[in-house]
Amino acid sequence: METPKETSGKKRLRQTNLEDCFGVGIKRHRSSQGEVEASLVEDVEQGSMSSRPLGESSELRRRREQLAAAAERRRASQSPYSTPPHDAPSSPDSNQGSEEVTDKSTEKTSRTHGSKGTVSKPSTSTAGNSNTGSEVVANSGRNFESVFAYLEEDSEACGRASASSTRSYPSNRTRSKVGEATPGTSVERDNLGGHSSQGTADVSQKTRPDANALVEEDEAAVAVGDVSPTQEYDASLPLFSDSEPHSSLDDEVQVNKDATRIEWRGVDPSALNRAPACRQTLPRLQPSHSHTVLFRPHIRSGAPPRPFPDAYRDTWDAHHVRMPCSPENLYPVDDKNGQKKVQSRWELIETTLLKPIQNSWDLEEAILTYNARYCSKWNFAGLHHFFTEEVDRREARHFFDQLLPKMVELALMLPKLCTQAIPLLKRQESHTITLTQLQIASLLANAFFCTYPRRNAQQKKSEYSRFPDINFNRLFEGSAKKSSTNMRKAEKMRCIINYFRRVALKAPTGTVSFTRRAVTAMPEWEKSTNTLTKFHGNVYGTIEDQGEGMLQLDFANMYIGGGVLGHGLVQEEIRFMICPELIVSRLFTEVLEGNECLFVKGAERFSDYTGYASTFRWNGDYQDTIPRDAWGRKETEILAIDALVFRCFEDQFKPQLLRRELNKAFCGFYGDGTLAANLPAVATGNWGCGAFGGDARLKGLLQMMVAAECHRDMAYFTFGDQRLCYELHKMNEFLVAQGVSVGDLWLVLQRYRTEVLQRKAKRNFTNLYTFIYQVYNDVESSTDEKDGEEGAEQTGGLSRGVDDSDDGSLSPDYKVDTP
């Protein structure tokens, strides 16, 4: 009889410990839950019963009983997070989905995302979903959609894939139509509404089926000559959310809740210019002194363009990329007698990579064979972690037996695909380079195998110290223990491997252009009379999806790509991961200066994703169906501009720094003589905010000013921030109604610095937008007085102080700082 008591005591002790761990949250939740339920019952009992006909009293009584029963179930379950399933589910569909997710949640190989409970992706622009410390991911055998699962295992099947021009690749998601909300964004909106993270974690598992099952399904599909999509992107609502039996009261609450939620403000997105509809006809593609074309400019439908020239011509100098296949690329090796001799490094690379590579350690040894000086400096812990902890044995075999040999072949084809050296896009030189997608694939394969010479030195005086790194050795680095670094790089590896898988299945046939622009003639911002253009604010969309056909901003690092090969995983790095062709820009783009920017036209998207930074997850293949232009480029144009880093809020308003940010944006927004009707709108967001320390409201206003100066419309994506979207729209609407010019805004920003930030105003307005509203409201109110009218006519209403005083209220510093 003592044994049961001891057992019972242990159980009680365990429950008490769990209660202690979460006691505060549980008690608070139960208390608030009980108050809400009691209030609902009381409202139904006292208010509704007295005001409705007697015929409805039984219905209300039934609702009250259901609410009470639901409350009792919740208290009995002792869980503050979910309600046990009801006897009467709301719909058969939801019940079926619950069963599916319950089954999947019991699988030992299931994978949790570790995000805030959302399968949608926030922007690539700001710190969208932040991790709250619940990022728990299985250490091994994770259940995810393998990037290797669709690799063809016999050459005959690959031949059929190459021969078919209409072959559809496996995809979790295809491009949505313009103006439609994507499944991911709909889930994100619901998540913001307060749904539990547990349900979304189950949805995440549902979208990542068992890897072995996927491989078996793929092999069966290959056998019949067809590869079907992996699984449709699951955009259903989070399951197991706190729900009660359906009633009209729930409908009323939901309507009121949705009424307060906005998705966009300003002009309708259909009113904005988009490519290709607004584009002018392209001239004939041909090389020039300002445009290098590495192929014969005769686009053949369904086939990659032929390289130009036909045979490899080497150029080994400081103005071109030093190619791995160059005869000048020499490497010291030991001969049979132990003596040092110089050997062609390319021959060593070919010999090494053509040997069998069976695992990640073989790959490390191969790379270090022709990078021997870095044996003690490079570590491949991240690479080993990925193939031992993140993927199972079958998937690893897929990679090393099937995909890696094709990547080796692609890399060694470099002298046949890139038959001329690529010029460097150096500072203060405007130049364009256009390559084929197949050439880019070969260049990236060489980056994967770390073959580029002179690109690993970190010294300030080294030849490429002002260029980003290009070899993938930093991507392979990691920690011997599982860490956030390993997790981030594992997701990056999935994106990279998925890209090479796609290229191996079918050679891409398009082209991509990279343009560096240096602008020397900048506007005189204080004298501009242009007024603001159309503004569209979008809360839940993303630049890459809802910004289709627009000029899409990359919130860049001055070293293009930022930390894409390292630890970074914010807006720029995410864009480079889902569009890996962007990475090749690091090969030839020198660090950007204050009056420079980089355009990339034609980069294809290959992967879908969810999350941001530590919550970023590869979410399957992506089929980019955006049309191509006459040069063979996707109608996707990305603008990379780097913002300044601010450690102090007040520094952003210094005249020289304001001018720098305006000029930087102008470099990219400027149409260079193109008619306004032919300029696509700018798709942007919180450029220079987040880690860069910029204020979103100031940056939004500055971008409105530049868009007005360049006669472009703007779509601004706030990535879930409804308040910011509302404030930007209202400010734009107000300034347009007031007829405020770009020059006027420049002067107001200077006044804000001197009269508010420097504490020299009689009224202390701490908010920039409040100050702007007050300035123009004071100007309006002063027009009723004769003296006020005369002052407004002479100064445009902008020389008066916030308190309607004369120029005497302006400090000497203000006059000095104002041009």
415 in Cβ contact with 314 (< 8 Å): no
Confirm or deny that 612 is annotated as ligand binding.
Answer: yes
Q: Which amino acid is at 483?
A: S
What is the dihedral angle through the alpha carbons of 574, 578, 579, 583, rounded to the nearest 10 degrees?
A: 50
Q: Which two tokens stand for residue 57?
A: 């009293």
**By CB neighbour count within 10 A (0-12 exposed, 13-18 middle, 19+ buried), where does 446 fall?**
buried
586 in Cβ contact with 309 (< 8 Å): no
What is the dihedral angle through the alpha carbons of 660, 661, 665, 667, rounded to the nearest 10 degrees?
A: 10
**b/e per residue 156-175 (b: at least 16 CB within 10 A):** ebbeebeeeeeeebbbbbeb
- Nearest-CA neighbor of 431 among 242, 586, 576, 290? 290
DSSP 760-776: --SS---SHHHHHHHHH
**By CB neighbour count within 10 A (0-12 exposed, 13-18 middle, 19+ buried), where does 473 fall?**
buried
C-alpha pair distances (Å), 510 with each of 513, 532, 632:
11, 37, 5
Q: Per the residue annotation, which of 218, 392, 395, 572 is the catalytic one?
A: 572
Q: At 373, is the secondary structure helix, strand, or coil?
A: helix
Q: Which two tokens stand for residue 188?
A: 């994100």
Q: Could you confirm whether 554 is annotated as catalytic?
A: yes
Could you give the residue ranges of the DSSP H alpha helices within 339-399? 345-353, 360-369, 381-385, 393-398
What is the dihedral angle through the alpha carbons of 50, 56, 60, 61, rounded to the nearest 10 degrees?
A: 100
**Parallel, antiparallel or unpaired: strands 291-293 and 682-684:** unpaired
Q: Which two tokens stand for residue 119?
A: 């399968």
Helix or strand run (H / E) with residue 207: helix 197-207
Q: Per the residue annotation, which of 152, 390, 392, 573 is the catalytic one?
A: 573
CA contacts within 13 A on the Cβ side of 552: 24
Cα–Cα–Cα angle for 700, 722, 272, rounded to 5 degrees:
55
Whole-angstrom Cα distance, residue 532 to residue 70?
Answer: 54
CA contacts within 13 A on the Cβ side of 77: 16
Whole-angstrom Cα distance, residue 59 to residue 443?
Answer: 71
> ω before 209 within 30° of 0 (cis)?
no
Confirm or deny that 459 is annotated as ligand binding.
Answer: no
Q: Which two tokens stand for residue 579?
A: 């569009």
Q: Could you confirm whether 573 is annotated as catalytic?
A: yes
Whole-angstrom Cα distance, residue 338 to residue 646?
Answer: 55
DSSP summary character for residue 620? E
Q: Which two tokens stand for residue 706?
A: 């530049």
Cα of 791 vs its chain's centroid, Å: 49
- Nearest-CA neighbor of 142 among 387, 342, 341? 387
Whole-angstrom Cα distance, residue 619 to residue 494?
Answer: 9
- Nearest-CA neighbor of 499 among 569, 440, 578, 438? 578
- Nearest-CA neighbor of 601 among 559, 551, 562, 561? 551
Confirm or deny that 280 is annotated as ligand binding.
Answer: no
- Nearest-CA neighbor of 244 among 79, 64, 105? 64
433 in Cβ contact with 327 (< 8 Å): no
Q: Per the residue annotation, which of 145, 554, 608, 721 is the catalytic one?
A: 554
584 in Cβ contact with 460 (< 8 Å): no
Instruction: Detail the residues annotated as belonging to a binding site for substrate.
Output: 557, 571, 612
Instruction: Detail the residues annotated as belonging to a binding site.
Output: 557, 571, 612
Active site residue ranges: 554, 572-573
